[in-house]
Amino acid sequence: MLILLTNDDGIWAKGLKVLEQSLSSFGTCCVVAPDREKSAASHSVTLHRPLRVEEVAPNRFAVDGTPTDCVILGVHKLAGKKPDLLVSGINDGGNMGDDVSYSGTVSAAIEGTILGVPSIAVSLARGEHRNFETAGEVIKKIVPLVAENGLPKDALLNVNVPDVESFEELKGVRWTRLGKLSYVDTLAEMKDPRGKTYYWVGGTPVREDENGADTDLVAVEEGYVSITPIRLDLTHNRALRELRERWKVSL
């Protein structure tokens, strides 16, 4: 099996190294990752300048582009043939709820899915242990299932692992839907040394109360591994039906 690995934390990130070590027994791993951190790059593609690739070790490539650039290069060129599987991660921090739309980790798996490669995104939720090895053990359980059964058409798996001290402390696995996050203190306004105002986007994510036990956010909070199937088709089908019924748009 040929597995393409990527991330958005950069080629030197610990999570990517652990992912490679965890999956090397399943086949050949080809690593294609950004040469620096590209978290929150979402699904951006570099179109207005060339991309440079450096082979930093055999079958390990650093790209001066986004996670999506890495998947395009990996699938079409660097892996040598179409990979059987793509795994993106292990991201340093959860990718759950509304955060999924910003995530370079998840977007790499979206690009893999678009290119016809069964794809998994895996993230380690924030915590004090930063136990990537446990997330590596988790992905080892999921990869054989995907390799054997494939994935439903246009679906990828978004896996989030709680940051527990050891694998044995995980409570189990829940199949989940995306939860609802909001951010507080999103925009920091500061002064530079010359007295000019600048802004820094960030903030603190807060889980909204409406989340149930079937959401990714609550599952991870309660110590479960969360697996959410994500679809590429963003059409809001209920809204489509309602609007078709009720809104007469005339030209």
Applying CB under 5 A, what is the total number of residues that bind Mg ion? 4
How far, in whole angstroms, is CA 37 from its chain's centroid? 13
3-state secondary structure of 166: coil
3-state secondary structure of 10: coil
Site membership for Mg ion, residue 9 (CB under 5 A): yes
Which residues have CB under 8 Å from 12's CB, separation 6+? none
Task: Tell the smallest beta-carbon distance from residue 143 to Mg ion (Å).
Answer: 20
Site membership for Mg ion, residue 39 (CB under 5 A): yes
Site membership for Mg ion, residue 176 (CB under 5 A): no
Task: Tell the smallest beta-carbon distance from residue 33 to Mg ion (Å).
Answer: 11
Site membership for Mg ion, residue 69 (CB under 5 A): no
Name the residue with the smallest CB distance to Mg ion: 39
Task: Tell the smallest beta-carbon distance from residue 109 to Mg ion (Å).
Answer: 13
For the segment 100-139, give every residue that binds Mg ion (CB under 5 A): none
Task: Tell the smallest beta-carbon distance from residue 151 to Mg ion (Å).
Answer: 23
Site membership for Mg ion, residue 226 (CB under 5 A): no
Task: Give me the DSSP letters along 34-97.
Answer: ESS--TT-TT----SS---EEEEETTEEEESS-HHHHHHHIIIIITSS--SEEEEEEEES---G
Site membership for Mg ion, residue 91 (CB under 5 A): yes
84/124 with CB nearer Mg ion: 124
CB count within 10 Å of CB 63 equals 25
- Helix residue ranges per DSSP H, 81-215: 104-114, 132-149
Can you read off the two tokens belonging to residue 139? Answer: 């992905």
Task: Tell the smallest beta-carbon distance from residue 12 to Mg ion (Å).
Answer: 13
Site membership for Mg ion, residue 99 (CB under 5 A): no
Separation in Å, CA 169 to CA 131, 161, 175, 176, 215: 12, 11, 18, 20, 20
Using the rule CB under 5 A, give the single segment among 84-92, 130-138, 193-201, 214-222 that binds Mg ion: 84-92
Separation in Å, CA 221 to CA 102, 141, 216: 21, 21, 9
Whether residue 27 contacts residue 3, with contact meaning beta carbons closer than 8 Å, is answered with yes
Using the rule CB under 5 A, give the single segment among 38-46, 111-119, 199-207, 209-217 that binds Mg ion: 38-46
Task: Tell the smallest beta-carbon distance from residue 39 to Mg ion (Å).
Answer: 3
26/230 with CB nearer Mg ion: 230
Site membership for Mg ion, residue 8 (CB under 5 A): yes
Using the rule CB under 5 A, give the single segment among 3-11, 134-142, 145-153, 218-226 that binds Mg ion: 3-11
Task: Tell the smallest beta-carbon distance from residue 108 to Mg ion (Å).
Answer: 10
The residue behind tokens 């650039």 is 69
Binding site for Mg ion (CB under 5 A): 8-9, 39, 91
